Protein backbone atom coordinates (compact mmCIF):
# COMPACT_ATOMS: atom_id res chain seq x y z
CA UNK A 1 0.00 0.00 0.00
CA UNK A 2 2.79 2.40 1.00
CA UNK A 3 4.53 1.71 -2.29
CA UNK A 4 1.42 2.53 -4.26
CA UNK A 5 1.02 5.84 -2.44
CA UNK A 6 4.66 6.76 -3.12
CA UNK A 7 4.32 5.76 -6.77
CA UNK A 8 1.15 7.82 -7.09
CA UNK A 9 2.87 10.80 -5.48
CA UNK A 10 5.80 10.51 -7.90
CA UNK A 11 3.45 10.36 -10.89
CA UNK A 12 1.60 13.44 -9.62
CA UNK A 13 4.90 15.34 -9.17
CA UNK A 14 5.98 14.36 -12.65
CA UNK A 15 2.67 15.52 -14.10
CA UNK A 16 2.98 18.85 -12.26
CA UNK A 17 6.51 19.38 -13.62
CA UNK A 18 5.34 18.53 -17.12
CA UNK A 19 2.40 20.95 -16.84
CA UNK A 20 4.84 23.78 -15.97
CA UNK A 21 6.99 23.15 -19.05
CA UNK A 22 6.44 25.89 -21.65
CA UNK A 23 4.09 24.86 -24.42
CA UNK A 24 5.80 24.64 -27.79
CA UNK A 25 9.29 25.74 -28.80
CA UNK A 26 10.96 28.77 -27.17
CA UNK A 27 10.36 32.15 -28.89
CA UNK A 28 12.73 32.77 -31.78
CA UNK A 29 15.33 35.56 -31.51
CA UNK A 30 15.16 38.50 -33.98
CA UNK A 31 17.99 37.25 -36.20
CA UNK A 32 15.85 34.23 -37.03
CA UNK A 33 12.79 36.36 -37.80
CA UNK A 34 13.97 38.33 -40.80
CA UNK A 35 11.58 39.88 -43.32
CA UNK A 36 11.63 38.71 -46.93
CA UNK A 37 13.69 40.79 -49.36
CA UNK A 38 11.59 43.56 -50.93
CA UNK A 39 9.87 42.76 -54.24
CA UNK A 40 10.80 44.45 -57.50
CA UNK A 41 13.83 45.02 -59.75
CA UNK A 42 16.99 44.35 -57.73
CA UNK A 43 19.03 46.50 -60.11
CA UNK A 44 16.93 49.66 -59.80
CA UNK A 45 17.89 52.45 -57.38
CA UNK A 46 15.66 53.64 -54.53
CA UNK A 47 15.33 50.24 -52.82
CA UNK A 48 14.15 49.89 -49.21
CA UNK A 49 17.44 49.93 -47.26
CA UNK A 50 16.02 48.98 -43.86
CA UNK A 51 14.17 45.92 -45.13
CA UNK A 52 17.13 44.91 -47.30
CA UNK A 53 19.46 45.20 -44.33
CA UNK A 54 17.20 43.07 -42.16
CA UNK A 55 16.65 40.49 -44.91
CA UNK A 56 20.23 40.20 -46.24
CA UNK A 57 22.41 41.12 -43.26
CA UNK A 58 20.00 40.31 -40.44
CA UNK A 59 20.98 36.69 -39.87
CA UNK A 60 24.24 38.10 -38.52
CA UNK A 61 23.35 41.72 -37.64
CA UNK A 62 19.95 41.59 -35.94
CA UNK A 63 19.77 40.85 -32.18
CA UNK A 64 21.27 37.47 -31.36
CA UNK A 65 23.19 37.20 -34.65
CA UNK A 66 26.87 36.33 -34.61
CA UNK A 67 27.88 39.72 -36.09
CA UNK A 68 25.92 41.51 -33.35
CA UNK A 69 27.47 39.31 -30.68
CA UNK A 70 30.99 40.00 -31.93
CA UNK A 71 30.44 43.73 -32.43
CA UNK A 72 28.77 44.06 -29.01
CA UNK A 73 31.93 42.73 -27.43
CA UNK A 74 34.09 45.11 -29.51
CA UNK A 75 31.91 48.09 -28.63
CA UNK A 76 31.88 47.29 -24.93
CA UNK A 77 35.64 46.87 -24.89
CA UNK A 78 35.83 50.36 -26.44
CA UNK A 79 33.68 51.69 -23.57
CA UNK A 80 30.44 52.02 -25.56
CA UNK A 81 27.01 50.72 -24.43
CA UNK A 82 26.07 47.20 -25.58
CA UNK A 83 23.23 48.55 -27.79
CA UNK A 84 25.96 49.78 -30.16
CA UNK A 85 26.53 46.16 -31.12
CA UNK A 86 23.54 46.56 -33.44
CA UNK A 87 24.65 48.31 -36.64
CA UNK A 88 21.26 50.06 -36.81
CA UNK A 89 22.15 51.87 -33.54
CA UNK A 90 25.50 53.16 -34.78
CA UNK A 91 25.91 56.80 -35.80
CA UNK A 92 29.62 56.65 -36.61
CA UNK A 93 29.39 54.65 -39.86
CA UNK A 94 29.82 56.34 -43.25
CA UNK A 95 28.23 55.03 -46.44
CA UNK A 96 31.62 54.40 -48.04
CA UNK A 97 32.78 52.41 -45.00
CA UNK A 98 29.66 50.24 -45.06
CA UNK A 99 30.13 49.57 -48.79
CA UNK A 100 33.77 48.63 -48.48
CA UNK A 101 33.18 46.28 -45.51
CA UNK A 102 30.35 44.58 -47.42
CA UNK A 103 32.35 44.08 -50.63
CA UNK A 104 35.70 43.26 -49.06
CA UNK A 105 34.66 41.60 -45.78
CA UNK A 106 36.22 42.42 -42.42
CA UNK A 107 37.70 40.01 -39.87
CA UNK A 108 35.05 37.38 -39.17
CA UNK A 109 32.61 38.89 -41.71
CA UNK A 110 32.70 37.23 -45.14
CA UNK A 111 32.51 39.53 -48.18
CA UNK A 112 29.06 39.81 -49.76
CA UNK A 113 28.90 39.45 -53.54
CA UNK A 114 26.64 41.23 -56.04
CA UNK A 115 24.47 38.11 -55.98
CA UNK A 116 23.92 38.49 -52.23
CA UNK A 117 23.33 42.21 -52.62
CA UNK A 118 23.33 44.14 -55.92
CA UNK A 119 25.06 47.54 -56.13
CA UNK A 120 21.66 49.26 -56.07
CA UNK A 121 20.71 47.29 -52.95
CA UNK A 122 24.04 48.07 -51.30
CA UNK A 123 23.53 51.78 -52.02
CA UNK A 124 20.20 51.64 -50.18
CA UNK A 125 21.67 49.72 -47.22
CA UNK A 126 24.59 52.18 -47.04
CA UNK A 127 22.16 55.13 -46.92
CA UNK A 128 20.24 53.38 -44.11
CA UNK A 129 23.34 52.57 -42.01
CA UNK A 130 25.64 55.44 -42.98
CA UNK A 131 24.41 57.99 -40.46
CA UNK A 132 27.80 59.70 -40.16
CA UNK A 133 27.52 61.22 -43.67
Q: Smallest gap, in angstroms, from Cβ of residue 133 to ligand HEC?
A: 13
Member of 33, 43, 66, 132 binding ligand HEC (CB under 6 A): 66
The DSSP code for 85 is: G
Nearer to ligand HEC, 10 or 96 (CB): 96
Residue 93 backbone phi and psi in degrees, to 5: -95, 135
Please, how many CA atoms are within 13 Å of residue 111, restricted to the half-sphere of its CB?
Answer: 7
Q: Which residues sit opposite 109 in a β-bridge?
A: 106
**Which residue ranges make up the site for ligand HEC (CB under 6 A)?**
56-57, 60-61, 66-67, 70-71, 87, 93, 98, 101-102, 106-110, 112, 117, 125
Amino acid sequence: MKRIVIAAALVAMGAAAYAQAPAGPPPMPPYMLRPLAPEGDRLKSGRDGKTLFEAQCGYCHLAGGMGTNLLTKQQMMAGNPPEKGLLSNRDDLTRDYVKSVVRMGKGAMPQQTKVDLTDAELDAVAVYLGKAD
